[in-house]
Chains A and B, each alone.
Chain A
């Protein structure tokens, strides 16, 4: 390490980066745990159908399996774009 390294060295805390990335991916994978294999495919196809009619983001469709008492509920939510923005786009 040269004596002038401190001038160029940025304070990079990659451990925090690792922690934040892991928190997100682990939470996401846990939410899918035990869910049927077809869920991601279902989500993709739903998105394609909706996009035929409305211009939505890729993350507009959320498909979740929710345990409600004794049975599973497939919870599908679609967030439609703001009308003004959709009209402008």
Chain B
């Protein structure tokens, strides 16, 4: 039975697509057969972050409308045999997706032996975002330590608890909070909300904290999800988050200011 994970946030630009790409890669790397779907119809971007933009022939809307088979539209990742990308349509409008159509595609993917389906939600709380979360078993709510993002996340958490299939059946979508763009030095200076602040306001513990890091932009430049950059703190933090999603317990890393030792200070090491 495939588990459906929606990556959502309400606010745009907080790192949903970066997170979807890294989670999908991390799950595939852990041996799970994974599909990652871009729900942002009209503003396709997951393909760029995954580095497969030149291999998109058919997209999600084509499959929903029966213009292409799932096999034709699923783009096989070049790095992992068990990872597939379903791109969003660039030419259709967001009304091209229907609840029944999305359900059919998700069921067909599940029937194909996938372990995880990662749904990359568009920003906002309109139809695309609603459809991305509707069938989810779990939700990763991406939040930045910043007022508008935290407020929007709370709104999204409210929608997850009321406007999803699970909620309608009297169940709950399992919610996870992923804090991105975290800068411990600024938190120390009292310039940025801390992990505790965000957890406290939203009433939810974080499943991961991704430090603000230059490698995130470099990875998207290259079309290589940052989780594959083993040397970067952001990549390692995503690795930890994936492990926690898979049930492992790992302490948070990179959430405090690194104290430089005497010699490091003296010699800049």
Contact = CB atoms under 8 A, between A and B. Distances in A.
A30 interface: yes
Contacts, number: 42
B269 interface: no
Contact of B193 (A15, A26, A30, A33): A15
Q: Which size class do A's interface residues fall under? A: 10 to 19
Nearest to B194: A15
Nearest to A12: B190
Tell me what chain A mostly uses at the interface: helix, strand, loop, or mixed: helix
Interface string B25-60: 000000000000000000000000000000000000
A15 B190 contact: yes
Contacts of B162: 33-34
Interface stretch (A16-24, A50-58, A74-82): A16-24
Contact of A19 (B154, B155, B197): B197
Interface residues of B, number: 18
Main secondary structure on B side of the interface with A: helix
Interface string A1-30: 000000000001111101101110110011
Given A30-B158, A33-B158, A34-B162, A15 B197 contact: yes
A12 B191 CA distance: 8
Contacts of A14: 190-191
A5 B214 CA distance: 30
A30 B161 CA distance: 12
A33 B191 CA distance: 30
A22 B153 CA distance: 12
Interface in B174-218: 187, 190-194, 197, 200-202
Would you list the 9 A-B pairs with minimal beta carbon distance, nearest first? A13-B190, A19-B197, A15-B190, A26-B154, A33-B158, A22-B201, A18-B147, A15-B193, A22-B150
9 contacts: A15-B197, A16-B190, A18-B197, A19-B197, A21-B147, A22-B147, A23-B201, A25-B151, A29-B154
